[in-house]
Amino acid sequence: MAEFFSRLLKEFDLQSHTFSVSGEREIGEVDVGLLYLYSRTSLASDDFLGIHSLAPSAGYAPLPELYLSGRYNFQDKDFKTSPSRDAQQHAASIDAFYFFMDSRAFLNGGYRIEDENTRSSEFDYVGHFFHLRLKTPIPIAALRPWNPVLRLGYEYYDKDYSNVTASIGENRGDERTTLTASLKAKLYSRIYAKVDIERILAASNLPSSDFDEEIITFQVGMKF
């Protein structure tokens, strides 16, 4: 029995290695950057996926409390066990950060568009992604000794697949909304506690991608 469970769990072994090189430079009042990243993932001890990524970016602060950024990202995906999923992806994103409370808090909003073309056209899609995020200390005097920090997040994406998915006999469409909340507080000196709540609402005409999920995690850690 133990050997059976050992073999079963081994099928879910996941190992990933990442190599990256990046450079940044300020040209006038604009921050420009370039990132190259390569990741290699194995599943159940077998080579599974390799991804090359290249991402130039630029950022600008028109006001002391406002920062705007844009990025283009190219990915080349190589699925070792499923060549039909090999793909090239082009994506572009914009983000805005508004800082307040002496830059101890910020509000972030962004949009990204992805266009992925695969060797098997069944998996081609165009996706639209939106997000809003807030990070802020809780400015209540009675709570100051614990230095609590609140994070809230909203994410939405819509993926429209360009061709018929064989298993459902029609073009696949996915929508997903993710709501997150996190609270982190100091317990003693370098010790902190953190609770995270995540709610996922996924709607799709592909049954395996149609689900609702709630995840709650609690952590206690130490800063060194």
The pLDDT, as a whole number, for residue 2 is 46
One-letter amino acid at 28 equals: G
Instruction: Write down the H helix ranges in the chain.
Output: 2-10
Q: What is the pTM of this model?
A: 0.85
Segments in the chain below pLDDT 50? 2, 4-6, 8-9
Domain ranges in the chain are 82-222
The pLDDT, as a whole number, for residue 4 is 43
Of 43, 45, 47, 53, give the one whose Cα is nearest residue 18.
Answer: 53
What φ, ψ does residue 21 adopt, rounded to 5°?
-135, 130
The pLDDT, as a whole number, for residue 183 is 97
The pLDDT, as a whole number, for residue 150 is 97
Tell me if residue 114 falls in helix, strand or coil: strand
Six token digits for residue 21: 């090189």
Q: How far is 82 from 72, CA to CA, in rounded Å?
A: 27
Q: Which residues contact 23 (CB under 8 A, 6 or more apart)?
A: 33, 34
The pLDDT, as a whole number, for residue 100 is 97
Of 127, 62, 128, give the one whose Cα is nearest residue 97.
Answer: 62
The pLDDT, as a whole number, for residue 1 is 52
Six token digits for residue 83: 């060549």
Q: Which residues contact 67 (CB under 8 A, 6 or more apart)?
A: 59, 60, 61, 96, 97, 99
**Which tens digits make up the pLDDT trace of 74-118?**
999 999 888 888 999 999 999 999 999 999 999 999 999 999 999
The pLDDT, as a whole number, for residue 82 is 85
Strands (E), the chain: 14-27, 30-43, 46-63, 66-79, 87-100, 105-118, 125-137, 149-165, 170-188, 191-204, 211-222
Q: How far is 35 from 93, CA to CA, in rounded Å?
A: 15
User: What DSSP line would sit under 12-48, residue for residue?
Assistant: T-EEEEEEEEEEEEEETTEEEEEEEEEEEEEETTEEE
Six token digits for residue 20: 């990256």
